[in-house]
């Protein structure tokens, strides 16, 4: 089969890497791809929101399946567009991808179907939002309604910080139209867990759980990012808790989407928190997580393409899915200044010193320039170590991360430590 993957980050590199192992795949393309993906797939200079160019390319190249990985084209309806042209596509249609595209929609859906989540209020005007905020106490969470590249959420530890975040979103419009509405939410305490699932409407097949590290610095300090590292499995989270999340949150949400006339087909990502009062929902995403994918797919033993086809064919319930008992730890190597402004075009060295049996290097913000891999984003690479347990996987990931060099590189040194404490 001829497969086209849409996207350019570390998640897409991991998806391309997994698909490249399938004997059913004869040719892989990625649009637009990055410097690392170019080693596994033919990169095509078409961006994620160029719908006509994507569908024309797919028709000309006789693509058998387009895998739409990022949130923006899913929310904007790329799957609908491709299906309208008779091109098979993996991912939810726009009316289902709204579960990520609008936090207001998502929270209201959970409330309607009694699915556990934090208490909240929503606002589409600044003054009423500010009045309500001033009646609350910190810590408190402020969320822009729409997509904001993983940066639209502020966990405010003081009321001054909360008011500043609200002003940034609704008055200064730092996230543009995504901040036209906001969710103001109670702050929940507990361990966080990412639980992704393949969903074909009513059938939910959970993946192995993982845990992300959002803040940019060690000990969860500094501003939130798209994710600075992740690991799987979670040895400190019992299977009974994972099952509770599936039974009380993920399956009921898939069922709710069917009842709403918005059946979800693709990857449903539940961002969860394990509170003293049970598992609660922080967020839903309508696609593979980044960097969670970089530890989940290396643990998948089943052909990923078979699962994609089962989702699209509505036969997910019959599809066997096997997972490795190995542990995986991914450390994100980032540019100086991220998640704020950062330089681009810096040469990267040391990649040739990393052996494949030691770690997998998933490129995120890289480009190929005059035969040299250079930086081209805030999160430059995800280095995934695989081992018999978290300790071994962690050691491999950090040993490899130390071999990579570019000016100003930085990474957290405490990824997966929560699993060891």
For residue range 225-249, what is the model confidence (pLDDT) as tens digits? Answer: 989 999 999 999 999 999 999 999 9
pLDDT class of 146 with cuts at 50, 70, 90: confident
Give residues with Cβ within 8 angstroms of 400, minimum separation 6. 354, 358, 359, 361, 383, 385
Residue 180 pLDDT grade (very low, low, confident, very high; cuts 50, 70, 90): very high
Protein fold of 191-318:
D-amino Acid Aminotransferase; Chain A, domain 1 (3.30.470)
Contact (Cβ atoms closer than 8 angstroms) between residue 254 and residue 264: yes
CATH architecture of the region 327-420: Alpha-Beta Complex (3.90)
Burial of residue 86, with CB atoms counted within 10 A of its CB: 0-12 exposed, 13-18 middle, 19 or more buried: exposed
pLDDT band at 196 (very low <50, low <70, confident <90, very high): very high
pLDDT at 186: 95
How many of the other CB atoms lie within 10 Å of CB of 87?
18
Percent residues over pLDDT 70 in the chain: 100
Return the structure tokens found at 170.
């609704």
Does the pLDDT of residue 69 top 90, yes or no?
Answer: yes
Q: What is the rounded average pLDDT for all residues in the chain?
A: 96
Q: State the fold for domain 2-91.
A: Rossmann fold (3.40.50)
Triad 182, 186, 191: Cα angle to 5°: 115
Q: Is the pLDDT of residue 278 over 80?
A: yes
Cis, bond preceding 233 (omega within 30 deg of 0): yes
Q: Which residue has the tokens 């998948």?
A: 300
Query: Which tokens belong to 36?
Result: 């690392």
Contacts of residue 39, Cβ cutoff 8 Å, sequence gap at least 6: none
pLDDT at position 283: 93
- Answer whether residue 313 shows pLDDT above 90: yes
Mean pLDDT for 72-82 is: 98
91 pLDDT higher than 80? yes
Predicted pLDDT at 355: 76
**pLDDT in the model for residue 262:** 98
Q: What mean pLDDT comes out for the span 109-115? A: 97
> Average pLDDT, stretch 78-98?
98
Q: What percent of the chain has pLDDT over 90?
A: 93
pLDDT at 390 over 90: yes
Peptide bond into 69 cis (omega under 30): no
In sequence order, the β-bridge partners of residue 31 are: 6
- What pLDDT sits at residue 58? 98
- In this predicted structure, what is the pLDDT of residue 340? 93
Q: Do the beta carbons of residue 334 and residue 379 sit within 8 Å? A: yes
Where residue 124 falls among pLDDT bands split at 50, 70, 90? very high
CA dist list (Å): 95 to 50, 128, 251, 271, 414: 20, 29, 18, 20, 39
What's the burial of 139, exposed, middle or buried (CB within 10 Å: 0-12/13-18/19+)?
Answer: middle
Indicate the fold that domain 125-180 takes in CATH.
Dna Ligase; domain 1 (3.30.1490)
Mean local confidence (pLDDT), 371-391: 96
Return the residue matching tokens 């001054």.
Answer: 160
**Domain residue spans in the chain?**
2-91, 125-180, 191-318, 327-420
Average pLDDT over residues 179-205: 95
* Mean pLDDT score, 60-68: 98
pLDDT at 151 over 80: no
Does the structure show a pLDDT above 80 at 7? Answer: yes
Q: pLDDT tens for residues 8-33?
A: 999 999 999 999 999 999 999 999 99
Q: What is the pLDDT averaged over residues 212-216?
A: 94
Q: Which pLDDT score is estimated for 356?
A: 73
Rounded CA separation 295/266 (Å) = 19
> Is residue 398 pLDDT above 90, yes or no?
yes
- Stretch 141-158: mean pLDDT, rounded? 88
Predicted confidence band of residue 128 (pLDDT cuts 50, 70, 90): very high
> What pTM, to 2 d.p., does this model score?
0.94
């Amino acid at each position: 089969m001829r497969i086209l993957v849409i996207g350019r980050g570390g998640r897409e590199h991991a998806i391309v890497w997994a698909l490249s192992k399938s004997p059913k795949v004869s040719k892989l393309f990625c649009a637009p791809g990055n410097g690392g993906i170019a080693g596994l797939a033919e990169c095509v200079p078409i961006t994620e929101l160029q719908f006509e160019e994507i569908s024309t390319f797919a028709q000309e190249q006789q693509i058998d399946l387009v895998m739409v990985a990022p949130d923006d084209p899913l929310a904007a309806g790329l799957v609908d567009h491709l299906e309208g042209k008779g091109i098979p596509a993996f991912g939810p249609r726009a009316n289902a991808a709204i579960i990520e595209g609008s936090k207001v929609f998502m929270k209201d859906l959970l409330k309607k179907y009694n699915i556990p989540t934090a208490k909240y209020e929503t606002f589409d005007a600044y003054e009423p939002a500010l009045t309500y905020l001033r009646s609350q106490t910190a810590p408190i969470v402020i969320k822009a309604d729409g997509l904001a590249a993983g940066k639209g959420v502020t966990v405010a530890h003081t009321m001054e910080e909360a008011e500043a975040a609200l002003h940034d979103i609704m008055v200064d419009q730092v996230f543009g139209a995504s901040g036209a509405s906001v969710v103001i939410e109670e702050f929940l305490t507990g361990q966080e867990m990412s639980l992704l699932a393949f969903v074909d409407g009513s059938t939910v097949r959970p993946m192995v759980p993982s845990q992300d590290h959002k803040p940019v610095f060690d000990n969860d300090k500094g501003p939130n990012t798209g994710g600075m590292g992740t690991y799987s499995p979670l040895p400190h989270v019992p299977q009974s808790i994972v099952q509770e999340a599936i039974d009380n949150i993920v399956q009921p949400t898939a069922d709710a989407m069917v009842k709403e006339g918005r059946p979800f087909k693709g990857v449903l990502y539940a961002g969860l928190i394990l509170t003293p009062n049970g598992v609660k929902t922080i967020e839903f995403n309508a696609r593979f997580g980044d960097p969670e994918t970089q530890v989940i797919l290396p643990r998948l033993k089943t052909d990923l393409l078979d699962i994609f086809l089962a989702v699209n064919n509505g036969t997910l319930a019959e599809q066997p899915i096997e997972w490795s008992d190995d542990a995986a730890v991914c450390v994100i190597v980032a540019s100086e200044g991220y998640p704020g402004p950062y330089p681009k075009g810096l040469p990267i060295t040391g990649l040739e010193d990393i052996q494949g049996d030691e770690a997998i290097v998933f490129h995120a913000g890289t480009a190929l320039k005059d035969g040299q891999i250079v930086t081209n984003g805030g999160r430059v690479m995800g280095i995934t170590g695989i081992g018999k347990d978290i300790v071994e996987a962690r050691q491999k990931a950090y040993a490899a991360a130390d071999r990579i060099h570019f000016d100003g590189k930085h990474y957290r040194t405490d990824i997966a430590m929560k699993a060891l404490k």
